[in-house]
């Protein structure tokens, strides 16, 4: 929670969660639907840290427990070598081995669970006997004070936060190997070469803390050792037996590439000889995703398994897929005249359909066996470029080209998997829609499911395509001053995207198509979810101006220079079916991304000798219109005159521009040794305040994608060449 002032009134961010400790309980009868918390009813307050009372529930401030930046560690080894095989022939090789670990710490496990539930469609009542005892002893006796007869309750859900088990911690480790073998030679006047490249990555997600085994958690409740509905001392030691310490998921990817190229001068032009380059490559890709059994959970792909992952993404499925592709290119550089140079290039790429080598299952348990997924995709692209130098100090340049991006294997072949919870939204479907009986009260979180798009034929994913053009100049009248300016324009078609949360939960047409009823294996009841699958959704148009200016001067204390670079955006538009045209310069689009009107950097450098240089860098991003929130979003609340938190409020405001200053010094007083020391964010500038509630992680009060929360930081590095 963070308080702020807008238009002379005080507000507070309220990006809290209904999942809390002790658990909030939603009790449903034929005539009522009420959320209550035993701490509030018995102790008249929310006793756990980071919890706040609101409307009979204890809300958890999850953002206060999220680590701002993960702990990173990288180790790598690099080696290369060459071997002369003859007068014109050289063999070479390159090896890179690396290990990268990212230890990320999140809020404690948040998990909706079911005590008992009567399916409103089938009328079947399902009771979780592991929870019912704790519910009957601690919750049911309090219902009378709320005007509810315990026997009339048809549903009882608990919104649990595993604060007693500690925050969740994942160690993401990547082990990578990159090997290249190649040969360069000369044959019949051609410079020729060929190479083989092998790259592989193994990524492991290991649970270090906070996640729990559902079976062990339920056993602790069934036996009375732990009660999720009441506060208790010593709960951490009790829950330690259920906390997971194991690999949750392992993914492996491999790429093998064979390539060859050749070049030579082919004919004479007034400006000199024209040069031709040609080449071709063949690539084989393989991808394997092997989730642990507990990440998969109960289901047809994991027979006999009962356990689930409290606080995680139970519902994952394995994937074993491969694909081949090849391409060929030619490029011709033509000095048409002494002051005019033209370049033409063409490339053809062909991607095979994805081959899936295992079976996956849809949300109803229906099997989809391996085989061909998607369609073959092929496309030719080209580029034309001109460089004209009418004088020694002036360069005019321009280019036009097309681009091509095939769907990834994951775009096509990813199986259906649990993708966590949405932000808080009012129910996206309304009665008499039969799905509406699974709505939650008010603005609530709903489940998200992600999948690939394996369709073939007309419904298959197409390649993204682009057209881009640039026109510009560079002027350098003296060695002390130079300036470059380039106008550019990019148009994208058939962009592969999924509909955003905002689109799926607020657009009735999209909700009708993509909101589904899903048997949640963790909650053990039917719930509403949004299913997200990639499609060729969007067409975009971007246009802007880049500049690069340098001024150099000699001063009594050394050589000084100023370099100013930046981009001024002229256009950023996206057309999405069901949404329409969005203009996103200086504002959030429906995917919660911002295109800044101006991004620039100015570097002041002073080199006092060959051994010492200093630089001061000013980084700038223009301001933008903040995420627009309504009272239904329940993300901002009024601060009352007495300091208490009041009703929800809408918010329509602007985010200030963001300027930071960095300092760096380089010292070369010892031969072959370079010491670099610096201060990032020298003026200790805070990130500009934002009420954004999605698109950038769990941070609250600022947008972690566009601003650094660390403040002033110091660093020093050393590099020695031998």
Peptide bond just before 432 cis, omega within 30 deg: yes
Task: Write down the pLDDT at residue 604.
Answer: 96
**Pairing mode, strands 525-532 and 444-450:** parallel
User: Residue 178: which of 97, 69, 245 has the closest Cα?
Assistant: 97
Closest listed residue to residue 331, CA positions, set 389, 264, 257? 264
Q: How far apart are CA 48 and CA 52, in angstroms?
A: 9
Region of poorest pLDDT, from 327-331, 664-668, 681-685, 698-702: 698-702
Looking at the domain assignment, is residue 181 inside a domain?
no
Distance CA 596, CA 587 (A): 8
In a domain, 121, yes or no: no
Q: Encode pLDDT of 359-403 as tens digits.
A: 998 877 889 899 999 999 999 999 999 999 999 999 999 999 999
pLDDT classification of 142: cutoffs 50, 70, 90: very high
Q: What is the largest CA-CA distance in the chain?
A: 97
Same domain, 657 and 688: yes
Domain shared by 560 and 524, yes or no: no
**At residue 696, does pLDDT exceed 60?**
no
- Distance CA(288)–CA(664), nearest Å, equals 43
Q: Which residue in 74, 93, 77 sits closest to 85, CA to CA?
A: 93
Q: Higher model confidence: residue 571 or residue 12?
A: 571
Q: Of 10, 26, 6, whose CA–CA distance to 646 is shortest? A: 10
CB contact at 8 A, 611 and 667: yes
Shared domain check, 423 and 286: yes
Average pLDDT over every residue of 561-572: 97
3-state helix, strand, coil in the chain (%, to 5): 10, 60, 30
Residues 397, 383: contact at Cβ < 8 Å? no
Average confidence (pLDDT) over 18-43: 91
Element (H, E) at 138: helix 129-138
In the predicted model, what is the mean pLDDT of the chain?
92
| Pair 561, 683 in one domain | yes
Q: How far apart are CA 101 and CA 678, in angstroms?
A: 25
Whole-angstrom distance, CA of residue 590 vs CA of residue 580:
11
Decide if 153 is inside a domain.
no
* Angle at the Cα of 99 from the Cα atoms of 93 and 102, rounded to 5 degrees: 145
Mean pLDDT of 129-156: 93
Distances from the Cα of 10 to the Cα of 628, 656, 674, 692, angstroms: 17, 18, 51, 17
Residue 26 lies in a domain: no
Q: Do the domain assignments include residue 17?
A: no
The partner residues of 229 in beta bridges, in order of sequence, read none
Whether 296 and 317 have beta carbons less than 8 Å apart is answered as yes
What 3-state DSSP class applies to 156?
A: strand
Residues 6+ positions from 424 with CB-CB distance below 8 Å: 443, 444, 445, 633, 634, 635
Specify which of 439-453, 594-608, 631-645 reaches the highest per-range mean pLDDT. 594-608
Phi, psi of 210 (to 5 degrees): 90, -40
Q: Are residues 662 and 692 in the same domain?
A: yes
- Mean pLDDT of the region 11-36: 90
Query: Do 110 and 523 meet the contact criterion of CB atoms below 8 Å apart?
Result: no
Is 674 within a domain? yes
Distance CA 215, CA 241 (A): 11
* Residue 446, phi then psi, degrees to nearest 5: -125, 160
User: The domain containing residue 602 runs over which residues?
Assistant: 556-630+653-722
pLDDT above 80 (res 280): yes
3-class secondary structure, 457: helix
Domain count, the chain: 2
With a CB cutoff of 8 Å and minimum separation 6, the contacts of 367 are: 300, 359, 360, 361
Over residues 406-419, the mean pLDDT reads 93
User: What gap in Å lies between CA 191 and CA 277, rounded to an integer?
Assistant: 9
Output the pTM of the full model. 0.86
Percent of the chain with pLDDT over 70: 99
Give me 664's structure tokens.
């760096």
Rounded CA separation 40/561 (Å): 64
Q: How many whole angstroms separate alpha carbon 273 and alpha carbon 506?
A: 61
Q: Return the closest-CA partner of residue 531 out of 438, 447, 461.
A: 447
Helix axes 214-222, 129-138, angle to 10 degrees: 40
pLDDT at residue 601, as a whole number: 97
For residues 340 and 387, give the distance between their C-alpha atoms in angstroms, rounded to a whole number.
6
Do 569 and 547 touch, CB atoms closer than 8 A? no
**Domain's final residue, options 549, 574, 599:** 549
- Domain membership of residue 88 (yes or no) is no
Q: Are both 340 and 405 inside the same structural domain?
A: yes
Dig out the tokens for 314 from the structure: 């139970």
Task: Dig out the tokens for 150 from the structure.
Answer: 């315990």
Domain boundary (549, 569, 589) is at 549
| Angle, CA 74 vertex, CA 72 and CA 80 arms, to 5° | 160
| Mean pLDDT across 657-668 | 95
Same domain for 563 and 540: no
Mean per-residue pLDDT for 285-294?
96
Check: CB of residue 35 under 8 Å from CB of residue 58: no
Looking at the fold, whether 563 and 506 belong to one and the same domain comes out as no
DSSP 629: B
- 695 pLDDT higher than 70: no
pLDDT of residue 481: 95
What pLDDT sits at residue 678? 95
Report the b/e string of 655-693 with b at 16+ CB within 10 A: beebebbbbbebeeeeeeeeeeebbbbbeebebbbbbbb
pLDDT at residue 348, as a whole number: 97
Tally of CB atoms within 10 A around 236? 12
User: For residue 314, what pLDDT band results from cuts at 50, 70 and 90?
Assistant: confident
633 — alpha (psi -120 to 50), left (phi > 0) or beta?
alpha
For 678, residues 6+ apart whose C-beta sits below 8 A from its C-beta are 662, 663, 664, 665, 714, 715, 716
Query: Which CATH number does the domain housing residue 277 bear?
Result: 2.40.170.20
- Is residue 698 scored above 80 in pLDDT? no
Side-chain-side CA neighbours of residue 480 (13 Å): 5
pLDDT per position as a tens digit, 69-111: 888 999 999 999 999 998 899 999 999 999 999 999 999 999 9
Say whether both 521 and 603 belong to one domain: no
Residue 262: DSSP 8-state: E
pLDDT tens per residue, range 192-224: 999 999 999 999 999 999 999 999 999 999 999
Residues 286, 316: contact at Cβ < 8 Å?
no
Q: What is the DSSP letter of 40?
A: I
Q: Which two tokens stand for residue 703?
A: 């947008």
In a shared domain, residues 571 and 453 = no
Looking at the fold, whether 593 and 612 belong to one and the same domain comes out as yes
Residue 274 lies in a domain: yes
Instruction: State the Cα–Cα distance between residues 352 and 413, nearest whole angstrom.
Output: 13
Identify the domain boundary among 526, 549, 572: 549
Q: How many residues does the chain have?
A: 722
What's the CA gap between 472 and 487, in Å, rounded?
A: 6
Spatial distance between the Cα atoms of 621 and 188, rounded to a whole number of angstroms: 54
The pLDDT score that the predictor gives to residue 247 is 96
Residues 531 and 677 grouped into a single domain? no
């Amino acid at each position: 929670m963070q308080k702020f002032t807008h238009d002379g009134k005080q507000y507070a961010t309220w990006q809290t969660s209904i999942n809390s400790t002790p658990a909030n309980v939603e009790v449903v009868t034929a005539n009522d639907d009420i959320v209550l918390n035993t701490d509030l009813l018995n102790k008249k307050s929310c006793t756990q840290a980071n919890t706040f009372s609101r409307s009979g529930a204890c809300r958890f401030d999850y953002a206060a427990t999220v680590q701002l930046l993960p702990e990173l560690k990288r180790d790598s080894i690099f080696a290369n070598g060459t071997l002369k095989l003859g007068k014109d022939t050289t063999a070479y090789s390159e090896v890179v081995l690396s290990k990268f670990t990212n230890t990320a710490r999140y809020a404690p496990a948040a998990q909706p669970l079911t005590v008992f539930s009567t399916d409103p469609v089938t009328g079947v009542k399902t009771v979780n006997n592991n929870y019912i005892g704790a519910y009957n002893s601690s919750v049911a006796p309090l219902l009378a004070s709320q005007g509810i007869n315990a026997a009339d309750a048809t549903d009882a859900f608990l919104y649990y936060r595993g604060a007693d088990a500690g925050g969740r911690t994942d160690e993401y480790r990547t082990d990578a190997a990159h090997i290249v073998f190649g040969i360069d030679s000369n044959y019949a006047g051609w410079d020729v070469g060929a190479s083989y490249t092998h790259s592989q990555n193994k990524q492991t997600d290991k649970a270090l803390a906070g996640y729990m085994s559902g079976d062990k958690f339920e056993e602790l409740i069934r036996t009375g050792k732990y009660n999720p509905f009441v506060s208790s001392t010593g709960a951490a030691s009790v829950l330690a037996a259920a906390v997971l310490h194991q690999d949750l998921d392992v993914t492996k990817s491999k790429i093998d590439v064979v390539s060859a190229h050749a070049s030579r001068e082919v004919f004479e032009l007034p400006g000199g000889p024209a040069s031709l380059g040609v080449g071709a490559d063949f690539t084989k890709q393989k991808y394997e995703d092997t989730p642990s059994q507990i990440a998969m959970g109960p289901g047809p792909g994991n027979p006999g398994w009962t356990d689930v992952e409290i606080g995680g993404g139970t519902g994952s499925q394995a994937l074993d897929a491969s694909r081949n592709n090849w391409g060929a290119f030619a490029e011709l550089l033509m000095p048409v005249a002494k002051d005019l140079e033209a370049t033409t290039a063409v490339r053809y790429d062909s991607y095979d359909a994805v081959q899936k080598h295992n079976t996956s299952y849809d949300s109803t348990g229906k099997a989809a066996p391996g085989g061909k997924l998607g369609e073959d995709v092929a496309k030719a692209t080209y580029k034309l470029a001109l460089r004209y130098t009418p004088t020694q100090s002036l360069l005019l340049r321009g280019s036009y080209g097309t681009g091509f991006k095939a769907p990834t294997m994951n775009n096509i072949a990813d199986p259906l998997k649990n993708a966590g919870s949405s932000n808080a939204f009012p129910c996206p479907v309304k009665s008499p829609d039969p799905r509406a009986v699974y709505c939650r009260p008010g603005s609530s979180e709903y489940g998200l499911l992600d999948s690939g798009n394996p369709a073939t034929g007309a419904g298959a994913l197409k390649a993204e395509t682009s057209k881009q053009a640039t026109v510009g100049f560079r002027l350098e009248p003296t060695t002390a001053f130079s300036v470059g300016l380039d106008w550019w324009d990019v148009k994208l078609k058939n962009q592969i995207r999924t509909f955003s949360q905002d689109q799926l939960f607020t657009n009735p047409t999209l909700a009708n198509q993509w909101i589904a009823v899903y048997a949640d294996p963790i909650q053990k009841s039917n719930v509403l979810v949004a299913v997200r699958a990639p499609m060729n959704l969007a067409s975009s148009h971007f246009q802007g101006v880049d500049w690069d200016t340098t001024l150099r001067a000699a001063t009594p204390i050394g050589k000084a220079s100023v370099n100013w670079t930046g981009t001024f955006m002229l256009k950023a538009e996206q057309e999405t079916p069901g949404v329409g045209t969005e203009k996103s310069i200086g504002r959030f689009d429906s995917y919660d991304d911002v295109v800044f009107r101006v991004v620039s950097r100015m570097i002041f450098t002073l080199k006092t000798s060959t051994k010492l240089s200093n630089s001061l860098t000013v980084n700038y991003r223009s301001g933008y219109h903040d995420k627009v929130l309504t009272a239904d979003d329940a993300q901002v609340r009024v601060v009352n005159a007495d300091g208490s938190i009041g009703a929800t409020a809408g918010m329509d405001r602007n985010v200030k521009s963001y300027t930071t200053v960095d300092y760096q010094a380089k010292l070369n007083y010892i031969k072959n040794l370079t010491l670099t020391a610096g201060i990032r964010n020298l003026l200790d500038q805070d990130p500009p305040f934002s009420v954004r509630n999605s698109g950038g992680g769990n941070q609250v009060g600022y947008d972690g994608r566009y601003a650094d929360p660390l403040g002033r930081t110091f660093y020093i590095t050393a590099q020695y060449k031998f």
